[in-house]
């Protein structure tokens, strides 16, 4: 009995020692001190801003950045100037680090991971479930998640929903940040198309002729043979799962839909989606297979093929079109951004896109001073000088990246209607259907039957849990 008591005493002492040694965030009274001129004084508080923009899939890796911008650029300079001005105005210090660390293990250890965290939103569902992020609605006195011009529409925030709250925001008013998060617009090398004697796709769009049937005609025209060799293909293939989702959208159906009773249902089993699956098979493994650059399995391979002018069209992620990794804008001049060709069940273009993350998402870890951090973040992410309006940003994009103003119009319409595909939230289980559609050994019906239980489980465990936040946050 004495031995047991001794052991218990030792355990209690160790627990007390560990608890005392753990770092705790600086305490801060959010009853701000008013200064002359009705401003606020944050009383010299230090806030930690951690930026980890390594996406883990090779898409984004800005190991050296300032609030998400490449160092020594116009935007990083503007961001630094903004922070300096705010530090002087509100009496605080923002310590910015790009050091990588694990939010879950640090939080479990009672350490202050960050006050403001900038990262892709890949893991937000699991982080929210683990309780390491603060729900944004709880910070509504300091930051307004409903301000879509500043923080993104509900569609763009969906990857950060969990149960009854949203746990992150995207800097929607800052150029080049959320614009690199979505895909997969159809991009065309117009100079190469002209060289091939085919039709200008921008004109086809304007004339209302840009349909699935016309698209396959153009793929045929742009597949040019010289002797026994193919000099140019119609489509730089690959990314088939994303091409399929874009074809679905263009025929009026999305992954997540609601039936007449308001219940969430999977769009994959709708007739409009099945037509999109069949069209993808026609292009990839069927009648138009000869128009499709073979053996391209990654986005990097597709980009390389496209900028080397092996094909005239490609469905591409936007971070490869412009910005730090913008190989398309760096290598091609006259490239068009197009809506996906119109499907047979709709009578107008549907400007819609997909995303599997927000590459730039800010959150407020529970170990930090969430209220002070939200107040400061709300001030930091006001529009940057010279880029105060949507038109300012559009003009910048048109001047620096797009050949034709119509491309910018299409681009922003696609962004505004970008749908989360739940790939990372479900560990890619929900992508099994579009990934397998182009399997020549199985019918579409067989693939749907085979994967139906997996999709149902994904909806029950992830989609319904995430979207339950929508009604709470934005109303039915």
Enter the tokens of residue 107: 């939080």
pLDDT tens readout for residues 5-34: 443 343 343 344 334 434 444 444 555 555
Rounded to the nearest integer, the mean pLDDT of the chain is 89
**Do 309 and 326 belong together in one domain?**
yes
- Whether residue 115 is contained in a domain is answered as yes
CATH code for the domain of 175: 3.40.190.10
Q: Strand, coil or helix: what is 34?
A: strand
- Whether residue 53 is contained in a domain is answered as yes
Separation CA 427–CA 125 (nearest Å): 11
- Whether residue 462 is contained in a domain is answered as no
Write phi, then psi, for 462 (nearest 5 degrees). Answer: -125, -55
**Do 161 and 201 belong together in one domain?**
no
**Do 225 and 138 belong together in one domain?**
no
**Do 161 and 267 belong together in one domain?**
no
Q: Are 403 and 335 in contact (CB under 8 A)?
A: yes
Separation CA 389–CA 428 (nearest Å): 37
pLDDT tens readout for residues 30-70: 555 555 444 689 999 999 999 998 755 555 556 678 999 98
> Which residue has better confidence, 160 or 26?
160
- Whether residue 9 is contained in a domain is answered as no
- Whether residue 407 is contained in a domain is answered as no
**Do 296 and 210 belong together in one domain?**
yes
**Do 92 and 173 belong together in one domain?**
yes
**Do 366 and 352 belong together in one domain?**
no
pTM over 0.85: yes
In order of 333, 366, 393, the CA distances from 191 in angstroms are: 8, 52, 26
In order of 10, 11, 22, 388, the CA distances from 17 in angstroms are: 10, 10, 9, 52
Residue 74 lies in domain: 45-180+358-382
pLDDT tens readout for residues 416-435: 999 999 999 999 999 999 99
- Whether residue 446 is contained in a domain is answered as yes
In order of 140, 239, 274, 342, the CA distances from 448 in angstroms are: 43, 20, 9, 24
pLDDT tens readout for residues 234-262: 999 877 899 999 999 999 999 999 999 98
In order, the DSSP letters of 330-367 are HH-SSEEEEPPPBPTT-SS----EEES--SSEEE-BTT
**Do 378 and 452 belong together in one domain?**
no
- Whether residue 334 is contained in a domain is answered as yes
**Do 429 and 287 belong together in one domain?**
yes
**Do 240 and 343 belong together in one domain?**
yes
**Do 228 and 195 belong together in one domain?**
yes
**Do 132 and 176 belong together in one domain?**
yes
Number of separate domains in the chain: 2
- Whether residue 470 is contained in a domain is answered as no
């Amino acid at each position: 009995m004495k031995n047991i008591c001794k052991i218990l005493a030792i355990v209690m002492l160790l627990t007390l020692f560990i608890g005392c040694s753990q770092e705790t965030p600086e305490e801060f009274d959010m009853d701000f001190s008013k200064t002359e001129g009705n401003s606020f004084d944050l009383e010299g508080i230090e806030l930690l801003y951690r930026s980890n923009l390594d996406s883990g899939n090779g898409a984004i890796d800005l190991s050296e950045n300032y609030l998400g911008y490449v160092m020594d650029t116009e935007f990083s300079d503007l961001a630094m100037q903004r922070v300096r001005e705010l530090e002087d105005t509100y009496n605080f210090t923002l310590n910015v680090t790009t050091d990588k660390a694990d939010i879950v293990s640090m939080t479990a250890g009672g350490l202050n991971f960050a006050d403001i965290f900038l990262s892709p939103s890949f893991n937000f569902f699991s982080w929210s479930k683990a309780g390491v992020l603060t729900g944004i609605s709880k910070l509504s006195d300091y930051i307004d998640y409903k301000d879509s011009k500043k923080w993104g529409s509900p569609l763009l925030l969906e990857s950060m929903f969990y149960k009854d709250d949203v746990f992150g925001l995207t800097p929607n008013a800052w150029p080049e940040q959320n614009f690199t998060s979505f895909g997969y617009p159809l991009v065309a090398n117009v100079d190469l198309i002209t060289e091939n004697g085919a039709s200008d796709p921008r004109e086809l769009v304007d004339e209302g002729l840009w349909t699935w049937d016309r698209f396959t005609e153009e793929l045929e025209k742009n597949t040019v043979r010289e002797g026994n060799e193919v000099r140019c293909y119609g489509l730089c293939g690959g990314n088939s799962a994303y091409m399929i989702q874009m074809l679905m959208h263009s025929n009026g159906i999305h992954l997540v839909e609601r039936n007449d009773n308001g219940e969430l249902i999977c769009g994959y089993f709708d007739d409009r989606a099945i037509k999109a699956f069949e069209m993808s098979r026609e292009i990839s493994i069927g009648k138009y297979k000869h128009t499709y650059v073979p053996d391209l399995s990654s986005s990097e391979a597709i980009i390389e093929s496209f900028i080397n002018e092996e094909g005239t069209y490609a469905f591409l992620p936007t971070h490869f079109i412009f910005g730090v990794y913008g190989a398309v804008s760096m290598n091609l001049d006259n490239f068009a951004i197009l809506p996906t060709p119109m499907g047979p069940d709709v009578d107008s273009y549907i400007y819609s896109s997909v995303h599997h993350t927000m590459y730039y998402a800010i959150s407020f870890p529970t170990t930090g001073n969430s209220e002070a951090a939200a107040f400061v973040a709300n001030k930091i992410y006001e529009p940057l000088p010279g880029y105060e309006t949507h038109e300012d940003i559009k003009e910048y994009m048109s001047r620096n990246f797009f050949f034709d103003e119509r491309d910018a119009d299409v681009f922003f319409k696609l962004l505004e209607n970008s749908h989360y595909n739940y790939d990372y939230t479900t560990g890619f289980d929900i992508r099994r259907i579009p990934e397998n559609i182009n399997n020549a050994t199985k019918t579409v019906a067989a693939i749907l039957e085979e994967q139906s239980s997996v999709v149902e489980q994904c909806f029950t465990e992830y989609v319904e849990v995430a979207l339950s936040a929508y009604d709470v946050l934005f109303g039915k």
